[in-house]
Structure 1
Amino acid sequence: MEHRLVEKCSTAAMASPVLTTHCSCGTTMGEFLDKAHIQPLTPQGYLATAVYLTFIGCIATLGNASVIAVYIRQKKFRSKPHNILILNLAASDLGISIFGYPFCTASGYAGYWLFGDAVCQLYGFMCYTLSMSSLNTLVVIAGFRYISLCHPQYAYRLTHRVTAYSLIGLWFYGLLWTVPPLVGWSSYTYEIFGTSCSIKWMVENTSEMLYVVGSCIFCYLLHLLLLAFFYYKIAKRMRKLNLRGQHTVPAARGRRDFVTSSRMKSESRATLMCFLMVILFVVAWTPYTVSSFWSILVQKIPLAAATYPTMFAKSSCVFNPIIYAIAHKKFRSFLFQTCCPWLYRRVGLGEDNAYMEQRRRDRLRKQKGQIFCVQYTNGNVYIGSHGSRGCWSEDGSNNGENSGSCRYHRARASFSTLRVDNLTRQPQTGNTLSNLHSKGRKYIVQAQVEPVPRTDNDTSSGEDSVHDLSCIDFAVI
């Protein structure tokens, strides 16, 4: 019995001397995964991979932990449902940093896998599951933005509950493909260079072939098609809005707000940020997918063709926090406030707030005397900027005419009415007072209502009143 164990250890050592000279021949070899396909790197190659993973691991851990800290500490960041998806994306990337990088990095410094076959399988399962979660989350984020911009009448349905259901669905879909290798349909095994573990891409039978082909199609290509569809429609919609000069953004709870170009620019930046996240994720994982599919076809690929794509794919966890920090102004402010509160109180409320206050004053000065279109519908008022084309109607025209039961009013305003959620109007004779609710803040607006006599072309029923087309002068009190 001992002679057979020594003989098997010797055979394994001949197949992969770097990885098996450390094993104890007192362990039954039947418990070990197949290592015959491993092609060891040089000592310098293992050291290079370890240093590289140490560098990106530190950045990914700090970056994604910062995103989670901002989400936990800042209530404003938690208020929007789609930010929960950002939290899930950061948690998935942080999970890879915690459950993936340390094992692969330590093994790289040692020159062989240190933690045994059971940990190898668990490592492969965790990395695959968390990577699937990241990709699924990017698809859901793209879907949310598609609904918000292209079908704003359904945007009110994107609530926290719907977001929670989406998270459950994307995790379930990921586990649907990552659990089978643990129970016999394909398997997790060592990568070709020996210090990392993944799906067994070098198939030996039809069952394994079906699994890896299905993984390539339903865990990567399908996601690419969905992402391409969503962002193509979003880009087409935004281009159409820019050409028409009608900068509309969906309002909360199903209402439709008309906002100025500054809000449209904000939406464009948010969409661009999400698009960059997708592009960098695809750039990071496409070489790995190609090399994996190549190994299915030829069974044996060059060592460099397997190592470089794997290392590059592991960098995908680094990109998202960097994109947040560069493209998201509020995230930078929240991060500064969360990580350095004492410095934020001394500096952030000084120069930074003075700068923001000056920008606010400049914006209000530019908007003084600007004409706004006001739409009254069921007691609510929706306000949007008005240029030289006249008021907008619900179908996108700008003729200022009545549409159904809606009335359009023209008003001069010296107060910024961006991001208006609700404006309730109390019809009275002469002055009317209204409460303007915007992001939890209340403003009192005094409106001087001046009824306009009905024209001969106006066939609507009823007498002249404040409900009819009127000229309103708004002033903040």
Structure 2
Amino acid sequence: MASVLMTSSNASGPVAHAYSAPGMNFGYPEGVSVTDLVPEHIKPLVHPHWDAFPPVNPMWHYLLGVIYLILGAISIFGNGMVLLLFMKTKNLRTPANTLVANLAFSDMCMMLSQFPFFAYNCFSGGVWMFSAFFCELYACLGSITGLCSIWSLAFISYDRYNVIVKGVSGTPLTSGKAMIMILFCWAYAIGWSIPPFLGWGRYIPEGILDSCSFDYLSKDWNLRSFGICIFIFDYCIPLLVIVFAYVFIVKAIVAHEKAMREQAKKMNVSNLRSNAEANAQSAEVRIAKVAMTNVALWLICWTPYASVVVQGLFFDQSSITPIVSMLPALLAKSASVYNPIVYAINHPKFRLALQKQMPGFCIHEEEEKASEDTKSTETAKA
């Protein structure tokens, strides 16, 4: 097969030969597998599952590379802006917003550790261009930052639950507790990302073989058990925490509004709240919606990839093609783009800080409205 691929004397490698020759599929001879294009030092890491698939249209490599460049630029700029506002604006440095800043930091680290290398591979022929160890390191860093973001969202959800559902009976979030939560996020993420280096699970190239992730295709129990644990402890459990928190948040808001309307009806008045109270309650509901939108976007991004993992672990793998596995992986990493956009656009205090620090963005936020958001955005001060 190698001799067939290298017949063109003008070719610089298997990716470069005879795109217009008759009887070829995207320039590759019939029978060529996507794994035939992988450098020799990477082939031991490639799962045999990918031998059954031909190379994808080269257009996919360039398209994914361009998408990744755009997502990377937006993510780094957006998350960097959130961190900058957090550091420069004193009244944003609350315990609750510390969790938001940690989310922005982990999201930014995700893109910094992933998109430059993925994009380089895409524009360099669509194969993994670095060492086998760097493939494992790339996957490990993606796992650490992704899991840290997942658990940051879980703790943000719990804080919203504590503020809105429990109210005055809830234990206020202090700076110390916020730091413990952040340390847990990073320690937990690192703890679940290191085992493949110690013999439990492994990191391998996936999809079109220009990126790497953990092995969810092998039926060996050592590898399969790691994949199952990752799915349960790093997707299902945080998902349950998030769903639990927001189900009760919505129920509490609906019940409170219903009680207020019924009491107002008994007293023959249209509204029991003063204007300030009404605005404060409106801010509370608005912030809850912002966080719920964030979580919904995360679910949209990560659930397709979780579905591919479940299919690889338990069901028929024949439909897991390079593109079928690659697009959900790209969608999962795009989660790092949405968080700063949602918070910058919808969070009143962040909008006010953005208006003051970066007036060129033409943000117009009323300072009084933002100050009425205190009850929802500040659970306590250390």
Q: Same fold (TM over 0.5)?
A: yes
In our comparison, the structure showing a higher alpha carbon Rg is 1
Residue in 1 aligned with 2:161? 146
Residue in 1 aligned with 2:46? 34
Shift of 1:33: 2.1
Residue in 1 aligned with 2:354? 335
Shift of 1:32: 4.8
CA contact (8 A) 2:154 2:242 kept: yes
Residue in 1 aligned with 2:334? 315
Deviation digits for residues 278-318 of structure 1, max 9, x if unmatched?
00001001001101211223344223321221121121111
Q: Structure 2: 5+ residue runs without aligned partners?
A: 1-13, 15-31, 262-273
| Equivalent in 75, 94, 101 of residue 108 of structure 2 | 94
Distance 2:161 2:348 in 1: 22
Within a 5 Å distance, the mapping from 1:82-121 to structure 2 comes to 82-110=96-124, 111-121=126-136
Distance 1:417 1:108 in 2: 48
For 1:165, the aligned partner's letter is: I
Question: How many pairs does the alignment contain?
Answer: 327
Distance 1:30 1:311 in 2: 22
| Equivalent in 188, 206, 227 of residue 212 of structure 1 | 227
Within a 5 Å distance, the mapping from 1:144-293 to structure 2 comes to 144-245=159-260, 260-293=277-310
Tell me if 1:298 matches 2:298. no
| Equivalent in 36, 39, 59 of residue 17 of structure 1 | 36
Distance 2:255 2:42 in 1: 64
The one of the two structures with greater contact order (alpha-carbon pairs below 8 A, sep at least 6) is 2
Distance 1:30 1:165 in 2: 40
Distance 2:339 2:204 in 1: 29
CA contact (8 A) 1:260 1:418 kept: no
Distance 1:162 1:318 in 2: 27
Between stretches 34-43 and 203-212, larger displacement belongs to 34-43
Distance 1:269 1:309, change over 3 A: same
The DSSP-based 3-state class of the residue aligned with 2:38 is: helix
CA contact (8 A) 1:189 1:200 kept: yes
Distance 2:351 2:214 in 1: 38
Residue in 1 aligned with 2:79? 64
Residue in 1 aligned with 2:138? 123
Distance 1:86 1:163 in 2: 10
For 1:271, the aligned partner's letter is: A
The DSSP-based 3-state class of the residue aligned with 1:189 is: strand
| Equivalent in 344, 348, 369 of residue 325 of structure 1 | 344
**Structure having the larger proportion of residues in strand:** 1
Shift of 1:161: 0.5
Distance 2:335 2:116 in 1: 16
For 2:345, the aligned partner's letter is: I
TM-score by length of structure 1 reads 0.63
TM-score by length of structure 2 reads 0.78
Distance 2:91 2:258 in 1: 33
CA contact (8 A) 2:152 2:185 kept: yes
Shift of 1:37: 3.8
CA contact (8 A) 1:135 1:223 kept: yes
Distance 1:241 1:188, change over 3 A: same
For 2:355, the aligned partner's letter is: F
Shift of 1:76: 1.1
Overall identity of the aligned pairs, in %: 26
**Structure having the larger proportion of residues in helix:** 2
Residue in 2 aligned with 1:137? 152
CA contact (8 A) 2:42 2:132 kept: no
For 1:95, the aligned partner's letter is: C
The DSSP-based 3-state class of the residue aligned with 1:141 is: helix
Distance 1:277 1:227 in 2: 11
Distance 1:31 1:53, change over 3 A: closer
Q: Structure 1: 5+ residue runs without aligned partners?
A: 1-9, 24-28, 247-257, 361-415, 421-438, 441-477
Distance 2:260 2:353 in 1: 33
